[in-house]
Amino acid sequence: MSLEGALLVLFLAWCSLGALLAVLLSERRNPTALAWTGSLAAVTALCLGGRILLPGSEIQIPLWTLPGLGNLRLSLNPLGALFLCSAATVYLAASVFSAGYLGRYLGHYSLRSFSVLYHGLFASVVLVFVAGDVLSFLLIWEVMAILSFLLVNYEHDKAENTSAAWLMLAMSEAGTLAAAIALLILAKNAGSLDFSLLAAEGARLLPGMRWAVFLLSFFGFGVKAGLVPFSVWLPRAHPVAPANVSAILSGVILNLGIYGIVLVNMKFLPVTLLGPGMLALIVGSITALVGILYATAENDMKTMLAHSSIENMGIIVSGLGAGFVFLASNHPAFAAIAFVAAFYHMLNHSAYKALLFLGAGTVDSRAGTRNMDRLGGLIKAMPWTALSFLVGALAISALPPFNGFVSEWLTLQSLLRSVELHSAAIGSVFAFCGAILALTAGLAITCFVKAFAMSFLGMPRWKEAGRVFEGSRSMTTPMAGLAFLCLFLGITPTYVIPALDKALAPLTGASAVQALVPPFLRSSASAQLPAGFVSEFHDLGAQVGKGYLPGNGLVVLHRGAERNPVVFAMSTSYTFLVLVLLLAIVFLATRLWTTPSHTVVRKPRWDGGIARLLPIMTYSATGFSSPVSVIFDALLHPRRVEDARETVHEHFRTAIKRRPERAHILDWAIFRHLAAAADAIANLCARMHNGRLNAYVAYVLIALVGVLLLS
Amino acid sequence: MRGWVFTGLKTGIKSTRYPEEEEKRPGVSPGLPIAGGNSLGLVDICPTNALLASNGQVALEYGRCVHCFRCARAAKSAPLDWSSGYEWADLSAKAGETAVEFGQNGFGRSLHVLVVDAGDCGACLSEIAQLNGPYYNMHRLGIFITPTPRFADVLLVVGPVTEHMREPLRKAYAAMPTPKRVVAIGVCALSGGVFVPSFASGSGVADVLPVDVVVPGCPPPPLAVLHGLLVAVGRKPPSRMFVSQRPVEERTPVL
């Protein structure tokens, strides 16, 4: 057995050991055991993913052959390994975090069952990436969906949790059904369940079937990814789960939806039509806008983060859509850039969203509330949590030098490359979606300025503020680790992009490294570039570090045709260095120029001279986001005023009761009607049960005749 | 309105040239009485007890005079002389060595002023507001009004300091960075004025804060306020009215 196979077996062994220990150990010792086995399993999975991704190799493990269905097998390619690495990183952080966090459930809920479900979910997530045929993929996908349902429903005695979990399961099952149909269409076409054969036979499908497969897989897997209009379950289910599970749901399970979309539409049946890409782009940008609008208006910390996950999924899908369009219009280099942007954003989102959810969990467990209108001033009591949360907020707001900036910048740049498509219609759609994404980026900053400032700065606004203390070391360490990961992914894009390219180059047929990261530091490779181009960039400092740094230069740039040598370029590495230098200069200058006569005097804050500044007088979260809620009121709260007229009394013949109804725009626009239709159908069917024996005998007769006729 | 650019250019600068040249236009100051003479009957008709009998002479407490003109228009006895000047600002008795001497410019060419209304009737405030207008235009001297004490160099206080403004005033002063000056504007801020100490108001700013410069008048004209600000930063000599209790000689009687 190869080393990779051994690592996979070792990983499954850690998960089984975790589940076994959970049953054997006492409730009190369960969190520590979970942290150990969970993080060891995560490290093993990381090693496995790295072994596949970095050399760009692939493993195949045949399991057994089913009569009539073909081979069942496990296979791991660089694409799966990329998702695996991102999932394992989130799991590593969440597992360590659990040691300190799970204590709050001790005595209330069973930690044994949590531990079993947690390890089961981890194993099933990894096996989804490893599944090499339709049957095992769908089976393990179902296991994953049910385990995540059980974990969302962990605090099962609360009605809102249960209803949110059931909604999640129902929508997830509907999505799985659609995705299963798409996979079965492909399997029938190929005459096999094996993933490797599905891809080979895809070219024979007619455009109509291609559209059907795209729509079914895009929206079917899109339910898991939280795409509009199937995102309504997400802001209900993610906040009610324990924080470590929320981090996994947002950082891992949402990515599974993206994995499904990518698997079908890039691997098995590469998109050759323009329409699907345009649809994905539009759905993605609308998802991003709807997500961030609701996130900005939301005051519950975890619900806000869940809405923001929808936004990030929208950005990822926009990047994918742009890639599909470029691929269909024969621009594989631009497609590679767009896909790199999308996958980079997916990695980034996993890192900072897990960080933010863990931060929100720490705040929730220490302060006892997640309402940002009530929190405030936490930075004094929990400085490390606040610092990590700040890094996460900066990263998700796409501010350099953190990681969100790189991927959002690449996404917007790849949308601007639509000028190469020479089509006014496509160009205007790209411009529209780009504008929506730019608006989204602006709103994201508003949203996370509010999230950080209202929770950690200012005055505490709830009663038990004095009793808050910093999270334990097992809680702050994973957050700090994820914060460093955000910084690392932000300042080393020229090293991350080649790794992403390993996973994507086989799918797009073009290398993004050649288009994006010119290998300046390697003399042999730079011989391929035009000499004038190299010398120009040599003057700009693109080769600084040659001989010290391994691999690529530090500038991300896209090289165009002769007349336009540099289309876009940036370097977060240099941005970071300049930022550090400027800060150091300012620090030194203030130190040098501060003489004893220039002493710093601390005085109480200026409150306008009022007698006593009460917390209730300070700026609240609702007030901060109020301009956004007012401007986008029609989208945020589509109102339907109900006029109920009823006869009350002789003299006051009709009393009109006005009741404005506030709802999520998707509930209001789509699911309200679906629910009403389902009710109507159920009522219609209920008429069959009229209680008369003659009718039931007739039903039996009709059914019998029908079956006989059909057979 | 159409030719406002040309009208403006034709009219030229109409702002006062005050600190460089003396302002001589009629009506820029209501004036103050000049103490002296021995018509002690005037002491009884003064409504604010600003006139006192001292060694057989009529003395004047500038911190109380509301220039009501009673003493200037008295029919029975010989009326007091009246001055038309406006450079009334003086260093307060308690200013001591913290005060900026004339010529010793303590604040450079930029001065930011926080105005606190500690319960005034509105007259002093309206005179201060004139300084922002085109005629007096204090911006040409580098003086600006600021809404926050964090940027303020001078605290300009008007009103007798009512009970409810006592604490905010103290807080505003505490919030100002050093070096800082307090200028009390108008007789209410100097002595309580017509409100006199009562259950609702105190007897001036000096009860609450260390006052550096005092400007008498009810209300003091804008140029007197400007003089007060210039005295506070050492760009004009103080009038020494409070030290000598007598106006300076060059003031000419008008009535």
Is pLDDT above 50 for A699?
A: yes
DSSP state of B253: B
Beta strands in A268-361 (DSSP E): none
pLDDT tens per residue, range A438-467: 999 999 999 999 999 999 998 888 877 778
Rounded Cα–Cα distance for residues A262 and A320 (Å): 8
Supply the pLDDT for residue B104: 64
What distance lies between CA B231 and its chain's CA centroid? 11
- CB A221 within 8 Å of CB A261: yes
CA atoms within 13 A on the CB side of B33: 29
Rounded Cα–Cα distance for residues A672 and A638 (Å): 12
Is pLDDT above 90 for A517?
A: no
Is pLDDT above 60 for B249?
A: no
The predicted model gives B200-209 an average pLDDT of 88
Three-state SS for A126?
helix
According to DSSP, the β-strands at B111-117 and B154-158 are parallel
Is pLDDT above 90 for B39?
A: no
- Residue A244: closest CA among A143, A111, A135: A111
CB pair distance less than 8 Å for A604 and B175: yes
Is pLDDT above 90 for A43?
A: yes
- The dihedral region occupied by B144, where left means phi > 0, alpha psi between -120 and 50, and beta the remainder, is beta
pLDDT tens per residue, range A184-218: 999 888 888 888 888 877 778 888 889 999 999 99
According to DSSP, the β-strands at B90-91 and A566-570 are unpaired
Is pLDDT above 70 for B95?
A: no
pLDDT tens per residue, range A245-283: 999 999 999 999 999 999 999 888 888 889 999 999 999
Is pLDDT above 50 for A506?
A: yes
- The dihedral region occupied by B41, where left means phi > 0, alpha psi between -120 and 50, and beta the remainder, is alpha
DSSP state of A549: B
Is pLDDT above 50 for B253?
A: no
Three-state SS for A319?
helix
Supply the pLDDT for residue A149: 95
Among A603, A605, A610, A613, pick the best mutation site for testing chain B contact (most B Cβ within 10 A).
A603
Supply the pLDDT for residue B250: 34
CB atoms within 10 A of CB B56: 7
A611 touches B: beta carbon within 8 Å: yes
Three-state SS for B136?
coil
Q: Tokens at residue A530, please? A: 């035009």
Lowest mean pLDDT across A503-507, A510-514, B103-107: B103-107
Query: Nearest 5 degrees, angle CA A141-CA A142-CA A147?
Result: 100
DSSP state of B208: T
Supply the pLDDT for residue B243: 54
Supply the pLDDT for residue B254: 34
pLDDT tens per residue, range A317-369: 999 999 999 999 988 889 999 999 999 999 999 999 999 999 999 999 998 88
3 state SS for B79-92: CCEEECCCCCCEEC
Nearest to A603 among B167, B169, B175 (CB): B175
Supply the pLDDT for residue A478: 95
Question: Residue B169's closest chain A neighbor by CA?
Answer: A609
Q: Which residues of B touch A611 (CB under 8 A)?
A: 167-168
Nearest to B150 among A606, A609, A611 (CB): A606
Amino acid identity, residue B229? L
Q: Which residues of A touch B172 (CB under 8 A)?
A: 609
- CB B15 within 8 Å of CB B136: yes
CB pair distance less than 8 Å for A603 and B172: no
Is pLDDT above 60 for A412?
A: yes
The predicted model gives B122-133 an average pLDDT of 93
CB pair distance less than 8 Å for B148 and A606: yes
CA atoms within 13 A on the CB side of A13: 7
The predicted model gives A71-88 an average pLDDT of 91
- Residue B212: closest CA among B97, B43, B74, B124: B97
Confidence of residue B240 (pLDDT cuts 50, 70, 90): confident
Lowest mean pLDDT across A28-37, B37-46, B97-106, B237-246: B97-106
Supply the pLDDT for residue B248: 34
Which segments of A131-158 does DSSP mark as H helices, in order?
134-152
Supply the pLDDT for residue B247: 36
The predicted model gives A625-643 an average pLDDT of 81
Q: Which residues of B touch A610 (CB under 8 A)?
A: 168
Is pLDDT above 60 for A170?
A: yes
Burial of A514 (0-12, 13-18, 19+ CB in 10 A): middle
B147, B148, B153, B155: CA torsion to nearest 10: 70
Is pLDDT above 90 for A614?
A: no
For residue A445, the distance in angstroms to the closest alpha carbon of chain B comes to 28
Domains and CATH numbers, chain B: 90-238 (3.40.50.12280)
According to DSSP, the β-strands at A59-66 and A70-76 are antiparallel
Q: Which residues of B touch A607 (CB under 8 A)?
A: 171
Q: Which residues of A touch B177 (CB under 8 A)?
A: 601
A532 touches B: beta carbon within 8 Å: no
DSSP B38-107: S-TTHHHH-TTS-EEEETTEEEE-TTT----STTTS-SSSPPPEEE------EE-TT-GGGSPPTT--SS
The predicted model gives B151-169 an average pLDDT of 93
pLDDT tens per residue, range A92-148: 999 999 999 998 898 889 999 999 999 999 999 999 999 988 989 999 999 999 999
A602 touches B: beta carbon within 8 Å: no
Confidence of residue A479 (pLDDT cuts 50, 70, 90): very high
Confidence of residue B245 (pLDDT cuts 50, 70, 90): very low
Supply the pLDDT for residue A527: 57
Token pair 């309580």: residue = B192
Q: Tokens at residue A170, please? A: 């129902």
Rounded Cα–Cα distance for residues A329 and B99 (Å): 80
Is pLDDT above 50 for A61?
A: yes
Confidence of residue A525 (pLDDT cuts 50, 70, 90): low
Confidence of residue A648 (pLDDT cuts 50, 70, 90): low
Q: Tokens at residue B114, please? A: 């926080």
3 state SS for A676-700: HHHHHHHHHHHCCCCCCHHHHHHHH
The predicted model gives B161-167 an average pLDDT of 91
Token pair 């008709």: residue = B45
pLDDT tens per residue, range A303-314: 999 999 999 999
Three-state SS for B5?
helix
Q: Which uninterrupted H or E stretch holds A642? A: strand A640-646
Is pLDDT above 90 for A469?
A: no
Higher pLDDT among residues A570 and A245, named by residue: A245
Three-state SS for A411?
helix
CB pairs under 8 A between A and B: 21
Supply the pLDDT for residue A106: 87
A600 touches B: beta carbon within 8 Å: no
- CB A638 within 8 Å of CB A669: yes
Supply the pLDDT for residue B255: 34
CB pair distance less than 8 Å for B172 and A609: yes
Q: Tokens at residue A173, please? A: 């099952």
Three-state SS for B240?
coil
Q: Tokens at residue A491, please? A: 């300042």
Q: How far are the Cα atoms of A69, A189, A195, A269 from residue A198, in angstroms, in the given order?
A: 13, 8, 5, 8
Q: How far are the Cα atoms of A100, A189, A363, A478, B159 from residue A34, in angstroms, in the given order?
A: 11, 44, 22, 15, 70
The predicted model gives B166-189 an average pLDDT of 91
Supply the pLDDT for residue A236: 92
Token pair 């690495």: residue = A85
Is pLDDT above 80 for A84?
A: yes
Report chain A's mean pLDDT, rounded to a whole number.
Answer: 89
A606 touches B: beta carbon within 8 Å: yes
Is pLDDT above 80 for A587?
A: yes
Rounded Cα–Cα distance for residues B236 and A19 (Å): 86
CB pair distance less than 8 Å for A604 and B174: yes
Supply the pLDDT for residue A514: 76
DSSP A28-89: TTHHHHHHHHHHHHHHHHHHHHHHHHTTT--EEEEEEEETTTEEEEEEE-HHHHHHHHHHHH
Confidence of residue B252 (pLDDT cuts 50, 70, 90): very low
Question: Residue A604's closest chain B neighbor by CA?
Answer: B175
ipTM over 0.85? The verdict is: no
